[in-house]
Structure 1
Amino acid sequence: MKSTSLAPSVDTSPPATATAAPAAETVVIKIGKHDVPVVKGGLYDRFRSRPPLSVIAAESPAADLSWFKGITKEKVDIGFESWSPNFYYENSRVTAIFTADLARLRELIPPKVLEQVQPLQVWPGKGVVALTAYAYHYCDNDSYNEIGLSVVTNKPGSSNWGPFSLMGQSFSDDFWGYVLKLPVDTELAQVRGVVGYNLPKWLTRIDYSEGDNNVVVTIYDSQTQALDVTLQTRKLDVSSSKETLVTNSFTNVDPRGRLTTGYTTSRQLRHASTSSADAVKLMLTDGSLSRFIASLKLGKMLKYEYVPDFQAALYAPSLLKSDARR
């Protein structure tokens, strides 16, 4: 298998196939117009995004829940009744940030979104994308894995100063983007994300595994069940890291054609980063997600983030002011 930490190459080896993991017992619930299987007796089955923190403390006594105590949930209608924000109590992630072809990124963002935000140009012809693998070990939606591929943009209504805007977002830990792809490995996460948050989610197998020195994430093609993308990253020293709060916001279009924004605030408990290219290996095949990533013409890896321990609050999307009266 060929691999590179910069521009990914196509793997010509025989594809691996997905094997089904033992299925947990499920019950079917209604989300909007969808019948969705969820883990029987899981947090979502019992509490529908509003579990008491006392329950979380009893089921996960090692979790520090102090941050969540200062956040109030509100009932929302996002195509179904829910509570915002959605809480993620124990999670891990790895993120690789690459340069990519600016013209291609512009092609992939809907014209209406481009009226408000544009890809940040870090140097001529090059924008920035972030590829993130999430492992949500324990959250209001039970547990699941997710892969996020996003274009880094300016904030709606603000000037786009390219690399200066990127540095400003980095210094303030307040990032904006447009989500290109967001596969997940549970139907609950898929339906909630598509119906409630207008996000490009689909269901496929995602494996997130940790070794002694690395994290290996494998993503399978939803149509062929063959190995599609492999992301292998190095574990970094997080012993001296300090707690930080990071906000990630996105702009997209709802089913009525209106512009919306949503955001997540993350409490990073242990984290580290590096710009060393050998910290990340991205391996592609001829799968559908691999072909899409290859079309972005990834270049230099700007930054790698290793976050083995974080918590998060995901807020329901709201209309941009320009579309709020429609």
Structure 2
Amino acid sequence: MAGALLAPLAHPALAGSPDAPVPAGTTTIDIAGHSVPVLKGGLYERYRSNPPLSVIEAEAPGLDLSWFKQLPKTRVDMGFESYSPNFYYKNSRITAVYTADLARLRELMPAQVLEQVQPLQVWPGRGLVAFTAYTYDYCDNDSYNEVALSIITNKPGQSNLGPLTLVGQAISKDFWGYVLKLPVNTELARVRGVVGYNLPKWLTDISRREEGASLSYDIIDSQTGNVDVIFKAKKLDDLSHDVGMVTNSFTNLDHNGQLTYGYATSRQTRHASSSSADAARLILGDGSLSTYIRSLQLGKLVKYEYVPEFQSALYAPKPLASLKDVH
């Protein structure tokens, strides 16, 4: 089913995070008027999303970079100068797909977006959301953790036939969605996401823990500093080593209120899934993200995905009108 998708947002995120001391081992750069701390001597400081693959080979000699050698980068204006696609060389993720209240999901999507895509109805009154925790160990913008809460939708310009559409997306490995929440744990990821990709990102601490046969992500409430959400899941044993290609696309609004879309293509090299009810669970606290998740009235765990190894290429957004079949 779905790995998580990326998506939309409104302007409040542009206000940024409160001023904080620049962490040790970092230097400050300007991105679209934002002062952003980045890893001193890291990939982003040196290459601004366009490092030569020869540098990656030298710094991480064990990585298979053959796929990236087939993907040309182009210079783009995303509110700042960058390159598309952004490369993610070594990553892992866990995803839990749940049923959720369909009426509530529709309430949370802007009217302009709903004219083009709708939540998939898997049975009367129930849609689907994907909750994904990512760890990007090594990428063009250094390393960070991210959590995505996304509504699974149809593709713009195509019919929404509920379960049939879902099956079609699963067969083609081409998933569409609208992201509701997307916290990250570096200011570089936040600013690039908000300014360049129109994403609903905010900065907070997200830590990953491994405990024997399970792993957990602790998501801190940025207002209180307390743990708000714990996403705990199993490390599945029956891993496939067959390379699987998956595309996750999103529909959203840019900062001028215009419809856009973007996508990430992932090359999964170790992956497994389960529909067992105890494969993954969300432990909710009293913070704002937990309150938001409760409002979705999550139900049954439909599918869990354990992907301890994948690579990805994230493309810059384009006007939705440029997508075939959209009018």
Please say whether Structure 1 and Structure 2 have the same fold, judged by a TM-score greater than 0.5. Answer: yes
Partner Cα distance (2:245, 2:76) in 1: 24
Q: CA deviation at 1:171?
A: 1.0
Partner of 1:167: 167
Aligned equivalent of 1:189: 189
Aligned residue for 2:270, secondary structure, equals strand
Decide whether the 8 Å contact of 2:23 with 2:37 is kept in 1.
no
The one-letter code of the counterpart of 2:116 is Q
Aligned-partner Cα distance in 2 for 1:141–1:211: 28
Partner of 1:231: 231
Q: Distance in 2 between matches of 1:262 and 1:217?
A: 26
Distance 1:322 1:264, change over 3 A: closer
Alignment partner of 1:278: what SS?
A: coil
% same residue = 66
The residue that corresponds to 1:275 in the other structure is 275
> Residue 272 of structure 1 aligns to which amino acid in structure 2?
A
Counterpart Cα distance in 2 of 1:24 and 1:158: 50
State the shift of 1:209 in Å: 2.0
Letter paired with 2:59: E
Is 1:117 the counterpart of 2:140? The answer is no
Deviation per CA, 1:251-297: give whole Å up to 9, x if none. Answer: 00001110000100000000000000111121001111000000000
Looking at structure 2, the residues matched to 116 and 241 of structure 1 have their Cα atoms a distance apart, in angstroms, of: 36
Tell me, in whole angstroms, the C-alpha distance in 2 between the residues paired with 1:285 and 1:210.
21
Matches of 1:39 and 1:229, distance apart in 2? 27
TM-superposed deviation, 1:238 = 4.4
Is the 2:233–2:279 contact (alpha carbons within 8 Å) kept by the matching residues of 1?
Answer: yes
Residue matched to 1:201: 201
* Separation in structure 1 between the aligned mates of residue 315 and residue 212 of structure 2, nearest angstrom: 34
Match of 1:93 in 2: 93
Do the aligned partners of 1:221 and 1:287 also contact (CA within 8 Å) in 2?
Answer: yes
Which SS does the other structure have where 1:190 is aligned? helix
Post-superposition shift, 1:239?
4.2
* CA apart distance, 1:215: 1.1
Q: Is the 8 A contact 1:130 1:149 kept in 2?
A: yes
Match of 1:244 in 2: 244
> Equivalent residues in 2 for 1:54-73 (5 A)?
54-73=54-73
1:83 equivalent in structure 2: 83
For 1:152 and 1:320, the matched residues in 2 are separated by 18
Could you state the TM-score of these two structures normalised by the residue count of structure 1? 0.91
Say whether the 8 Å CA contact 1:238–1:270 is kept in structure 2: no
Residue 228 of structure 1 aligns to which amino acid in structure 2? Answer: D
Aligned residue for 1:10? none
How many Å separate the matches in 1 of 2:239 and 2:45?
37
Structure 1 residue aligned with 2:219: 219
- The residue identity in structure 2 corresponding to 1:283 is I
- CA distance in 1 between partners of 2:276 and 2:23 (Å): 39
Q: How far, CA to CA, are the matches of 1:92 and 1:204 in structure 2?
A: 19
Deviations along 1:211-270, whole A, 9 cap, x unmatched? Answer: 321111110001111110001000012444311000000000001110000100000000
Quote the offset at 1:69 in angstroms: 0.3
User: Which segments of 5 or more consecutive residues in structure 2 lack a partner in the other structure?
Assistant: 1-21
Offset, 1:23: 4.2
Q: Distance in 1 between matches of 2:239 and 2:39?
A: 35
SS in structure 1 opposite 2:96?
strand
Equivalents in 2 of 1:174, 1:214: separation in Å?
A: 28
Mean Cα deviation higher: 232-241 or 276-285: 232-241
CA contact (8 A) 2:173 2:246 kept: yes
Rounded to whole Å, the distance in 2 between the matches of 1:180 and 1:143 is 23
Distance 1:279 1:241 in 2: 20
Structure 2 Cα separation of the partners of residues 144 and 256 of structure 1: 28
Give the superposition deviation at 1:152: 0.2
Equivalent-residue separation in structure 1 for 2:282 and 2:138 (angstroms): 27
For 1:239-318, what aligned pairs fall within 5 Å after superposition?
Answer: 239-318=239-318
The DSSP-based 3-state class of the residue aligned with 2:317 is strand
Give distance in 2, aligned partners of 1:241 and 1:210: 21
Question: How far off its partner does 1:43 sit?
Answer: 0.3
Secondary structure of the 2:72 match is coil
Q: How far did 1:35 drift?
A: 1.1
Determine if contact 1:241/1:272 at 8 Å carries over to the other structure: no
**Unaligned runs of at least 5 residues, structure 1:** 1-21
Encode CA deviations 1:46-68: one digit per residue, 9 max, x unaligned: 00000011111111111100000
Residue pairs, 1:8-87, within 5 angstroms: 23-87=23-87
- Count of paired positions: 304
Q: What is the identity, as a one-letter code, of the residue corresponding to 2:319?
A: L
Q: Deviations over 1:153-176 (max 9, x none)?
A: 000010000011011111111000
Letter in 2 for 1:28: T
Would you say 1:143 and 2:180 are equivalent positions? Answer: no
Q: Aligned-residue CA RMSD in angstroms?
A: 1.6
The Cα shift of 1:208 comes to: 1.3
Please give the secondary structure, in 1, of the residue aligned with 2:164: helix
